[in-house]
Each structure stands twice: as structure tokens, then as C-alpha cells.
Chain A
Amino acid sequence: MAVRGAPGPGWGLLLALALALAWLPRARGVEEEAGAHGSIEGFQVVTFKWHHVQDPYIIALWILVASLAKIVFHLSHKVTSVVPESALLIVLGLVLGGIVWAADHIASFTLTPTVFFFYLLPPIVLDAGYFMPNRLFFGNLGTILLYAVIGTVWNAATTGLSLYGVFLSGLMGDLKIGLLDFLLFGSLIAAVDPVAVLAVFEEVHVNEVLFIIVFGESLLNDAVTVVLYNVFESFVTLGSDKVTSVDCVKGLVSFFVVSLGGTLVGIVFAFLLSLVTRFTKHVRIIEPGFVFVISYLSYLTSEMLSLSAILAITFCGICCQKYVKANISEQSATTVRYTMKMLASGAETIIFMFLGISAVDPLIWTWNTAFVLLTLVFISVYRAIGVVLQTWVLNRYRMVQLEIIDQVVMSYGGLRGAVAYALVVLLDENKVKEKNLFVSTTIIVVFFTVIFQGLTIKPLVQWLKVKRSEHREPKLNEKLHGRAFDHILSAIEDISGQIGHNYLRDKWSNFDRKFLSKVLMRRSAQKSRDRILNVFHELNLKDAISYVAEGERRGSLAFIRSPSTDNMVNVDFSTPRPSTVEASVSYLLRENVSAVCLDMQSLEQRRRSIRDTEDMVTHHTLQQYLYKPRQEYKHLYSRHELSPNEDEKQDKEIFHRTMRKRLESFKSTKLGICQNKKAAKLYKRERAQKRRNSSIPNGKLPMETPLHNLPIKERDLELSDPEDTHPYEAEDMSGGIEFLANVTKDSTTDSTAGIDNPVFSPDEDPGILARVPPWLSPEETVVPSQRARVQIPCSPDNFRRLTPIRLSTKSADSFLLADGDPEEAPRPGLPESTHM
């Protein structure tokens, strides 16, 4: 098998992909031509060196043909909306293969396993992993694993055994195959193919849960397929009489080794990749390259160790995405996104086209009607039975039930594809006597599933009214409430003492925040992770763009510079934005949630419409009118790099403003002292809460472990008296003042100091640190809450006096930070669950 032509020093996968097409003997005419040129002697001004460029040239031509074909397909929207592209490509491949064969009478070009597994498959799987909607994936991991492992084994076993049974009945005529050959065939035909599933399902747009289950299954069943295939292949080699039970046990063990090993390799490389991208600040140009090369290495490494390569590269993509996306620059991220989509889409196109071309080869065709038809029947029927049985079991544990319709789509979406084809071509003809029968049956199965099922699944989905996925931007309300619901859920879980997804997710995100992110993310990336703030930021971008667009329509940008619009806050958000700007930067900035989408057209369209509005002026306006994110400032502050005066001023300003506003609103809306107090309490509690939250980065949460008993008790003491008696009891003013006094007294005696220190002074920090034994530090999670209670805005007079105290809490804040990690900005207590 000739995979020739040096790839050159470049490490872009594109070349590798181009190399990907291996060539059987070249076309005859070409050879003659080249020979004629070879006989000319003497110096030639112009030489025609076809041989020199032949291989890469043909590869490039094929890629061009495939790409042109894609253009042609999409010229007619009608065709592509009915027929999936993969089916069209296969048909095109058949036609092209026919032409080549007619000209040559040799099947010159076929899809070889080497090329497929080394060059065409990795980009597709990497793309799938890198854009995997992680939260969805891990939320359904149990289901996916069950389908991938049990489902695949079930499919392989039942298909193989049933075929063997029919074979024994004599319906297939005389074949030189035994039970093991059937099982081998069953194992390679059992696996649902990620490429085919992706190609068909992304055009169908079923709901995301259904999609992730089928797609996840197709990715994860690789380990099972690899193991089954290897086991049965070695069994066939051994001969059926020599297989011992020890071998079977070994096969079982190897399943775990292959799958877990592959996953581990992927995770290790993901770690490596994240770590590397952390330090690529000064080599932005090659930044995207790392993503591809290291992921590819994970694939090759696990292939080298005979582990599941697909699992490795999938998990590499899944695990690294969060950190890589945070680390690399926006441009690099876009580059990675586009390159990955381009490679995956290109590889997919080539795979399907060459599946078609490979089929035009009379040498491989051995027809056996019974075998072919029965295989088709069995794989469909057993898939359906398997899905129904497993779903029945799963539905007892799943929160989101999989309904009958879902099951139908899942059974019907069990497409077979190039993986099966490549595996069957890999078979050794000397060991498996009926290889050709297997090959032709596999081709039929692949074509049938991709073309027929691919064609009919869309009408089926429409007919069955499967819940479709909807692509839309979440509204601010949804984001906010969604986040609130997450908090509520995990709180309820804590109260009910149940451990569930949310609990694990919280645990994981804590671990991630405390350790992984610190190691793997750039510092600048660590701080900008507040989701709500991001949404808000994007909305602001949108507004700014619409603002500029408005100016352009009016023919002048002068109004932008006028002082009245100095502040973006003044822009009326409620006015409907011009529709021309609906595709704005934010669309592009945000990752598509279910972005496992090879179709670049949608992205392209967005891009185009933005280009018009995105010009110098926009950037200028954005720069000038978007107020600076507070994060940066806070961040610097925590690193002691900002002068405390400025800091104070700003904080005081904000504090004054807030307090004034609050007081006014309390006065206007609620008259009467009691009410006022209640509201104030509310506010106070909330402040306390905030204080507590800000201490989270310290990592000393009062947990329900014996180790932390002490802090809990302390908090108890603190919380019990005020909170128990207060909020809903009408209490006279004097009591409140007493309470205030108590608290102030408390805080002065507080050993953690810094409280009465009105001015922020970083110099004190080391001293404070030395005084507090580390095991006592959890108490700090409490102290601020107490301190915060001091700031009750009882009356306007009170308020002025309280201001310095508020400031002092801030100094304590910095102290808290110093205790944890001086580099860390105070983080919100938001679980990162939505990132998952």
C-alpha cells in the first residue's frame, strides 16, 4: 500500500489529510506520458515532471473534486434538504468510481484502513470531542455508557449468533466459515459509526438529549468494537478448538484496559495540552497548532499502546476544551474552531466519497443474498430490541424519560459507516476465508443505513414529531433564573441529604476551581468566568454595535461623540434593536451549545453579516463606551498593584451611591420603621451572604466533617442569636442598637484584626497571617458576615459613620485573599455547573 510523498516539515494536519489518500497503481495513460518524457536528453528549459508531483497532485485533485461536489450539492437547497449530504457523496463516489473503472478497469482508488484510521478519522473525532456539550454529555454519561457497552455487545453477539444459526440451517449455502467468523463479523458490524451518525443527525436536528445519547454511544462504543474485533480476530487465528476460557477472561480484562487506558491517555494529553496553551502567550501564531498536534499525538499514542484511540482523542477534546478556550486568544480560538471544522468536514466528505468509489471493484464482490439480507434484518431488529430493553431498564433511573418515539429514532439512527468498512478491509484473507463476502455485505449495510435510513430518518422524525432542538440565544432572564435554579437545586440536595448529579457537579467544579483551573488556566483567564457577566458583556457589545449602526444610518457618527451619550447606561435598552444587527459579534464569540456541527455555512453567514458593521469605528466606540469591567480592577487590587487611594475612592463612591439609592427606595416604598427594619435586615443578610461567598476562594468551607466541627459551632453561636429572633419579629429600635453595639464590640476583640483599620494597608498582611493559626482560619468565612451586619443602613446619620467600617471589611477581604492565594481575585460562590 503506497502512502508516499513526503509531507514536508509542516505539521498541519491538512497535509496529513491530503496524504491520506493512498493510491493503488496509477493510471496507465499517465505512466506512458511520463515515460515518453523520460527519454528526452539534454537540458530542458521546461520539463514536465508528472512523477515528481503525482501523488500529492492526485490527492489535491480528489480533495478539490470532493469540495466542488459539496458546492454543487448546496446549489440546490431542495436537494440537500431532502437527501443527506453523506448519501449524495456516496452516490457521487459510485459514479466517479464507475468512471475511473471504465477508463482503467482497475479499482485505482480505494479507502484503505491505514489512511482512514490515521488521517481521516482523528479530525472528525477530535472535532466531536472538542465541541462536545460537556454538561449534556456527562449528564447522560450513564445512559451513553450502557448503550455503548451493553448495546454493542448485545448487537455483536445476537447478530453473529443469529447469522450462525441461519448458516447451520443451510439457508446460506456452502460457506467456509465457523462460529468465530460470524462473531467477528458481528462485532465489526455491530458498532454504530460516529461519522455516519454525525453526518445524518446534524441535519435532522433532533433534541439534544436524544442526539447526545446516539452520538455519545457511537463515540464510546469504539472501545467495545476494538476489543471484540481484536479478541475474535485472534480467536479466529488461533482456531476455534484452541480457545480456552482463560482467553475469554483475558478478552474481558482487555476491554477494561483498552477503554480505561484510552480514556486515561486522552486525559493525560488534555492536561498536557491545557498546560502548554497556558504558556503560548508570545507565540500566538502557532497556538492553534498545539491543539491539533497534541490531540493527534494522544490518538497515535493510544494506538501505539493498542488502546482505544477514538476514546483517547475524544476525551482529550472533552477535557481540554474548557481550559484551552480560556487560554488561547480569541483569534486563535476562532482559528481552531474553523480549522477543526474544516478538517472534520473535509475528512467526512472524503470518507463518504471514497466509500462510494471503493465499492466499484468487481474483485471484492461476492454475493450471497441470504447472508446480506439477513444481516440487514438482524442488525435492524436487534438494534431495536436492544434499545427497547435497555431503555426500559434506564427509564427506571432516568429523570428525563426516553419515550417510545425517542426509542424509535435511536434504533433507526443506528447507522453503520466507514469504521465497519475499514475494519472489514483489515481482515486477513488467509485467516478469514470469506473476507470478500464480509466486505461486500458491510458495504451493502453501510450504503443501506447511510442512504436509505439517512434519507428516511428526516421524514420519520417529522412524522413522529420528535422534540426538535431549537437553536436560539438564551435570554438574560433564562440565564439568570437558570443559574438560580442550579443554586436552588444544589441547596435542596444539601438539605435533603441526597447525593446526586448536582452534588457531584458542585464537588467537581470546586475541585476544578481550586486546583485544575489554577494550574491549567492563565491568570487572566481565571478571573473572567462569570457567566452572567459574560452575557451582559455580550449584550453590551450588541448594543454598541446597534448604536453605531444607528449612526451610520443617520449618515453621521457625530452624535456618538456628543457628551449626552457619554455613558452607555443612558441608551434605552428597551427600544427594539434594528434587525440588521441581530447577527452580532456575540453570536460569533459564543460557542454554539450543540456545536457538534460540521456544517460551516451557518457560521459563515453570521460572519459575513458582521463584517459590514465591524469596522474601526465600532472598535473605537466599544473601547470608549463600554465601561471597564470591574473584574480587572478587582483583580489588580487583590494583587496589591493598585494604589489604595484610588481604590478607596471608587469603592466609597459606589458604596455611597448604593446606600443612598437603597435608603431612598426603602423610604419611598415602605413607610414605617418596622418595615424599614425588615427590609434593612434583608439587605444585611444579603450582604452577609456576599461576604461569605467572597471567602470561598480560600477553600475553607465549613463542611460537615469532624475536622471542621469547630468553625461550625462558632458559626452557630454567631448566627443563632440574631437570626433566630430577628427577621420576623417586630423589635424595638433600642434592641437593634444594642445588637449593633454588641457586634462592633465583638469585632474589635476579634483576633483576626484588620477590622478597625479604616485604611487599607497591605503591609499588615504578613503580621496578620502569622497570628492566625491555619486550622482556625475557617472562622474567617464567618467573621465577615458578622462584620457585614454592622452596615445596617438604619438611618442616614448612621450611614456616614458606618462607611469606614465598610471599608475596613474590604481590607479584611484582601487579608482573606492573602491567606488563600494572593493572586486570586475573590470569586463568586457560583458553582461552575453551567460550564459542565
Chain B
Amino acid sequence: MGSCSSHAASIPDLDSIRRETGFSQASLVRLYHRFQALDKNQKGYLCRTDLQQIGALAVNPLGDRIIESFFPNGSYSVDFPGFVRVLAHFRPVDEYTGVRDPKEPEPLNSRMNKLRFAFQLYDQDRDGKISWHEMLQVLRLMVGVQVTDEQLENITDRTVQEADEDGDGAVSFLEFVKSLEKMNIEQKMSIRILK
């Protein structure tokens, strides 16, 4: 731990990041190393290209969208706090869920925030709704080329209809949450090692 804490000193704003994200110090140090490794020219921030270099992401159907989610509002770069903030969505839900101070913001890794993260991957135009087309796009990304567009559109129809409750032909965030209420999001959207 000794070496870790010496490294930890080099991370700017360590404490505030910790408070916000809930990561342990060890995890933050590990992530900082990763951040530096990704940061090719030691710029101190990451560009899209830095993330696009990760080979496995290129073959991940949602890879590019996830990369985009690191760059909110069309910014070009992401610094370490921002980087960690995104990853914090995937921290396992704390085992102790006592009474939370209502004034405190919901932790980033709460069920709602996990879902919101997923939702904004679908909702590309940020209008708070997954439109039919947005759904189709995601499906197109996720389904192999051997599926015809017609089939895909049909699947999209069904998917949207299944979740759409108010009949506006789009899935709002609430409807999105509702359609997944049976699913164990806390577990499914958590990575064990991101403690």
C-alpha cells in the first residue's frame, strides 16, 4: 500500500473524486495508471482516438457509442475525474444501503444512474426518448448483418410497442426503467473489480 499512496499523491483532486465516485483509493490508483497508459502523448486528457485505439472496442458493437459517452456535450477531451466518473456507473452497488441522506445526490452507481447511462447510449439526440429510429439503430448495431432490415424493423416495432405505455411510439426513460424492472440491473451493470 505504501507505493500506492505515493502514487496516489500524484493524482489531482483525489479526495473529491473519491467522494464523488465512491472508488477506493487502490482502485483509483489502478485506474489512474490505466488512464495514463491510454493517454498516448501524456497530454493529461484523453481524446476519442485514445479510446478508439483499444482493439477490443472496435469489435464491440456498442464500442463507439460508449466512447462517445465519455465525451459529453461534444467535448473533445476527457480528464481523469471525468473518466472515472463514467466508470463509476459500473461500480457494484454498495452492500450497505442504510438510510441515505436525502440531500446527498444519488450515488453514480445507483440503479437509476446505471439505467440512465444505458439509456443515453440509445437516446442519441438527447430528447429524453428512445425513438423508433434510435431503437432500430441500436438493433442494427447489435444484430448481425444476416438479419434483414425488414426483420429488424419488425423487431424494433415489437420492442418499442412492448415498452411504450403512453403510445407515443417512443420509449421514455420511465418506460425504459419500467420495461426492465424485473431485471437485476444492480448486478448486470456492475463490474466486480471496479470496487
A473 to nearest B CB, angstroms? 11
A490 touches B (CB below 8 Å): yes
Question: Are A489 and B189 within 8 A (Cβ)?
Answer: yes
Partner of A487, one of B48, B92, B142: B142
Among A489, A495, A662, A665, the most chain B Cβ lie within 10 Å of the Cβ of A495
CA of A498 to CA of B59 in the docked complex: distance in angstroms?
17
Assembly CA distance A481 to B130 (angstroms): 12
Known contacts A533-B147, A627-B151; is-contact A704 B54 (Cβ 8 Å): yes
Task: Give the Cβ gap from B98 to chain A, nearest Cβ, in Å.
Answer: 15
Which B residues, 133 to 160, have Cβ-Cβ distances below 8 Å to chain A?
133, 137-151, 154-155, 157-159
Min Cβ gap B54→A in Å is 5
Chain B residue numbers with a CB within 8 Å of A162 are none
B68 to chain A, nearest CB (A): 8
Measured in the bound complex, the distance between the Cα atoms of B76 and A670 in whole Å is: 24
Interface segment out of the listed B4-12, B14-22, B176-184: B176-184
- Complex Cα distance, B134 from A719, in Å, reads 24
The CB with the most chain A CB atoms within 10 A, among B137, B146, B159, is that of: B146
Whether A481 contacts B66 in the complex (CB less than 8 A), given A686-B140, A690-B140, A702-B58, comes out as: no
Complex: how many Å from CA A826 to CA B143?
Answer: 11
**Is there contact, CB below 8 Å, between B180 and A478?**
yes
In which size bucket is the chain A interface?
Answer: 35 or more
Task: A477 to B176: give the CA distance in the assembly, Å.
Answer: 9
CB pair B34–A491 under 8 Å, yes or no, is no
Contacting residues, chain A, for B125 (C-beta < 8 A):
670, 679
Contact indicator A487/B118 (Cβ below 8 Å)? no
Kindly provide the distance from the CB of A469 to the nearest chain B CB, expressed in whole angstroms: 12
Q: Which residue of A lies closest to B34 (CB)?
A: A497
With A492-B90, A497-B37, A828-B142 already in contact, the answer to whether A401 and B58 are too (CB < 8 A) is no
**Nearest A residue to B185, CB-CB:** A485
Q: Which of B52, B90, B161, B180 contacts A573 (CB 8 A)?
A: B161
Minimal beta-carbon separation of A671 from chain B (angstroms): 13
Q: Is A378 an interface residue (CB 8 A)?
A: no
- Interface membership of A694, Cβ < 8 A: yes
A594 to chain B, nearest CB (A): 14
Q: For residues 483 through 520 of chain A, which have their beta carbon under 8 Å from a beta carbon of chain B?
A: 483-485, 487-502, 506
Q: Is A566 an interface residue (CB 8 A)?
A: no
**Interface size range of chain B in the complex:** 35 or more
8 Å CB contact of B142 from A484, A685, A825: A484
Q: Is A654 an interface residue (CB 8 A)?
A: yes
Known interface pairs A481-B180, A530-B143, A530-B144; A692-B66 also in contact (CB < 8 Å): no
Known: A476-B155, A493-B191, A702-B58. A485 touches B118 (CB 8 A): yes
Task: Tell which of B62, B63, B95, B191 touches A500, judged by Cβ atoms closer than 8 Å.
Answer: B191
A501 and B137: CB pair below 8 A?
no
Give the residue of A491, A502, A532, A683 whose beta carbon is less than 8 angstroms from that of B155: A532
Contact A533 B143 (CB under 8 A): yes
Q: Is the CB of B158 within 8 A of A483?
A: no
Is B151's CB under 8 angstroms from A630's CB?
yes
For the complex, give the distance between the alpha carbons of A488 and B179 in Å: 18
Cβ-closest chain A residue relative to B181: A478
Q: Any chain A CB within 8 A of the CB of B39?
A: no
Could you say which residues of chain A place their CB within 8 Å of the CB of B154? 536, 569
Instruction: Say if the beta carbon of A775 comes within 8 Å of chain B.
Output: no
The CA of A397 and the CA of B190, in the complex, are separated in Å by: 13
The residues of B that contact A475 with a CB separation of less than 8 Å are 162, 179
Please tell me if the beta carbons of B191 and A502 are within 8 angstroms of each other in the complex. yes
On whether the beta carbons of B149 and A658 are closer than 8 Å, the reply is yes
| In the bound complex, CA of A501 to CA of B138 (Å) | 24
* Complex contact B158–A539 (CB within 8 A): yes
Within the complex, what minimum Cβ distance (angstroms) separates A523 from chain B? Answer: 14
Report yes or no: A703 in contact with B64, Cβ–Cβ below 8 A: no
Assess the A634–B180 pair: CB atoms within 8 A.
Answer: no
Contact A476 B49 (CB under 8 A): no
Q: Give Cα A828–Cα B64 distance, bound, in whole angstroms.
A: 16
Q: Specify which of B37, B48, B117, B122 is in contact with A724 (CB 8 Å cutoff).
A: B48
Determine if A433 is an interface residue (Cβ-Cβ < 8 Å): no
Q: Give B173 Cβ to nearest chain A Cβ, in Å.
A: 13
A696 touches B157 (CB 8 A): no
Are B64 and A689 closer than 8 Å at their CB atoms? yes
Which residues 38-71 in B have Cβ within 8 Å of A in the complex? 38, 47-49, 51-64, 66, 68, 70
Flag if B37 contacts A501 (CB, 8 Å): no
Q: Is the CB of A489 within 8 A of B191?
A: yes
Query: Is the CB–CB distance between B57 and A719 below 8 Å?
Result: no
Q: Is the CB of B54 within 8 A of A477?
A: no
The reply to whether B141 and A690 form a contact with Cβ atoms under 8 Å apart is: yes
Q: Given A482-B183, A532-B142, A701-B55, does the pair A500, B193 have CB atoms closer than 8 Å?
A: yes
Chain B: CB-nearest residue to A489 = B191
Task: Say if the beta carbon of B187 comes within 8 Å of chain A.
Answer: yes
Chain B residues contacting A701 (CB-CB under 8 Å) are 55-56, 58-59
Residue of A nearest to B144 (CB): A828
Partner of B133, one of A536, A665, A719: A665
Tell me if A595 is interfacial: C-beta within 8 Å of chain B: no
Inter-chain contact A399/B66, CB cutoff 8 Å: no
Closest to A825 in B: B146
Contact across chains for B52 and A496 when beta carbons are under 8 A apart:
no
A631 contacts the other chain (CB 8 A): yes
Docked CA distance A17–B88 (Å): 56
Residues of A within 8 A of B52 (CB): 715-716, 719, 723
Bound together, the chains give a CA A506 to CA B190 distance in angstroms of 16
Q: Which residue of chain B has its CB nearest to the CB of A782?
A: B58
A483 and B53 in contact, given A492-B191, A627-B151, A692-B59 (Cβ under 8 angstroms): no
| Contact across chains for A482 and B58 when beta carbons are under 8 A apart | no
Contacts of B103 in A (CB 8 A): none
Check A494–B57 contact: CB distance below 8 A. Answer: yes
Q: Is B31 an interface residue (CB 8 A)?
A: yes
Nearest CB on A from B96, distance (A): 10
Are A829 and B150 in contact (CB-based, < 8 A)? no
- Determine the distance from Cα of A398 to Cα of B150 in the docked complex, in whole angstroms: 43
Question: Which chain A residue has the least Cβ–Cβ distance from B74?
Answer: A728
A400 interface hit (Cβ, 8 Å): yes
Bound together, the chains give a CA A690 to CA B144 distance in angstroms of 8
Q: Which residue from B141, B147, B148 sits with its C-beta under 8 Å from A686?
A: B141
- Is B87 an interface position by the 8 A CB rule? yes
Distance of A665 Cα from B133 Cα, bound (Å): 8
Given A400, A490, A683, A826, which contacts B187 in the complex, CB threshold below 8 Å?
Answer: A400
Residues of B within 8 A of A481 (CB): 118, 179-180, 183
Contact B137 A399 (CB under 8 A): no
Centre residue among A658, A826, A827 by max chain B CB count within 10 A: A658
Q: Which residue of B has the minimal Cβ distance to A470?
A: B182
Q: Are A630 and B148 in contact (CB under 8 A)?
A: yes
Contact, CB under 8 Å: A487 / B62: yes
A sample of 18 inter-chain contacts (CB < 8 A) reads: A399-B192, A488-B66, A489-B191, A492-B191, A502-B191, A630-B151, A634-B145, A634-B146, A683-B137, A692-B58, A701-B55, A704-B54, A719-B49, A720-B49, A727-B68, A781-B58, A828-B61, A828-B145
Given contacts A500-B192, A829-B60, 20 further A-B contacts (CB under 8 A): A395-B95, A476-B155, A477-B163, A477-B179, A481-B180, A484-B142, A488-B62, A488-B66, A491-B62, A494-B54, A495-B51, A536-B158, A569-B150, A630-B147, A657-B149, A682-B137, A692-B59, A702-B58, A719-B52, A826-B145
In the A-B complex, the 9 residue pairs with the closest CB atoms? A828-B144, A728-B74, A634-B146, A497-B34, A399-B192, A630-B148, A477-B179, A702-B55, A487-B62
